Amino acid sequence: MALTEIVFFSIFLMFTLQPSTSVEVCPVLCGTQLIRFPFRLNTQSGRCGYPRLDLSCKNEAHAILTLPFSGGFTVVNIDYTFQNIWIEDPDSCAPRRILQGLNLAGTPFDLLEPRSYTFFNCSSASSTVPKLAEAKLISCLSGKDFSVVAIPTERLDLPASLSTSCSEMAKVLLPLSLSDWSDPGDGFILTWNEPDCKLCESRAGTCMFKNDTGTDVGCSGGFNDVNKDENWVYVITEAIFNLLLRSPSIN
């Protein structure tokens, strides 16, 4: 076989023995938020995102995550590498929504670093309770004559932590420590584990379905590409060229 024929055959292998690229990825903007796999907008093809990771786009400006038993939340940010989604209450009072019952049943989400807090209604202690180092005033639940505060449940043994004018409202698990909130009304973070695209994202690859059916995911592109189906083609091609260089008998 002539040298030029072998070269063209090798190039043919590289471009014809690639995995199918017909799988949809479908990145789209909703306002300034990029929506891409594993999420999709509910107006897109089902193959654009992973099951149960559907969002809607309100007025083409705000991405909305709707939890089956807790209603809709505005998406503030999606961290695709660490698989976290920051959401907030459209009415800017996430603690109220949590007290009403944040139910994640039927969703792929979990609370990020959950911690138990006890909420208190303090009718006349607004000037004392918030001074406690770990007490957090919940301004969106407070009024003119009362203050609602949240204290880590494990710290309720603090001396004089509560006055007789405070009554317990509820004990709830909160995602993300209140100390990390500039204002508890800002929202909170949820995390998801399936599909696991962390390694692919960390390598600047594109996480996507492997095939046109099923839910198995793979990684396309990125540095340190881990796609073995592509790599073996390049290994064979490189071996052919090395063979050519070592074979003086080839014309």
Single out the residue of 91, 95, 78 nearest to residue 183, CA to CA: 95
Kind of pairing between the strands at 217-220 and 136-137? unpaired
Closest CA to 12 of 245, 240, 242: 240
Q: What sign for the dihedral angle of Cα 200, 174, 113, 181? A: positive
Retrieve residue 77's tokens: 């940010």
Chain mean position to CA 90: 19
Instruction: List pLDDT tens digits, range 133-159.
Output: 677 888 889 988 888 888 888 876 654
Give pLDDT, residue 90: 93
Return the SS3 of 120: strand
Q: How confident is the model at residue 40 (pLDDT cuts 50, 70, 90)?
A: very high
Domains of the chain: which residue ranges? 1-19+232-251, 22-113+176-226, 115-175
161-207 residue pLDDT tens: 566 678 889 999 887 655 555 566 678 899 999 999 999 999 999 99
* Distance from chain centroid for Cα 145: 39
Q: In the prediction, which pLDDT does 242 show? A: 52
Cα atoms in the Cβ-side hemisphere of radius 13 Å centred on 113: 8
Backbone angles phi, psi at 173, to 5 degrees: -90, 125
Alpha-carbon gap, residue 171 to 180, rounded angstroms: 19
Q: With pLDDT > 70 as the criterion, what percentage of the chain qualifies?
A: 67
Q: End-to-end distance of the chain based on CA atoms, in angstroms?
A: 8
Integer Cα distance of 102 and 173 in angstroms = 9
Is residue 153 within 8 A of residue 46, CB to CB? The reply is no
Least confidently predicted of 119-128, 132-141, 220-229: 220-229
pLDDT greater at residue 35 or residue 17: 35
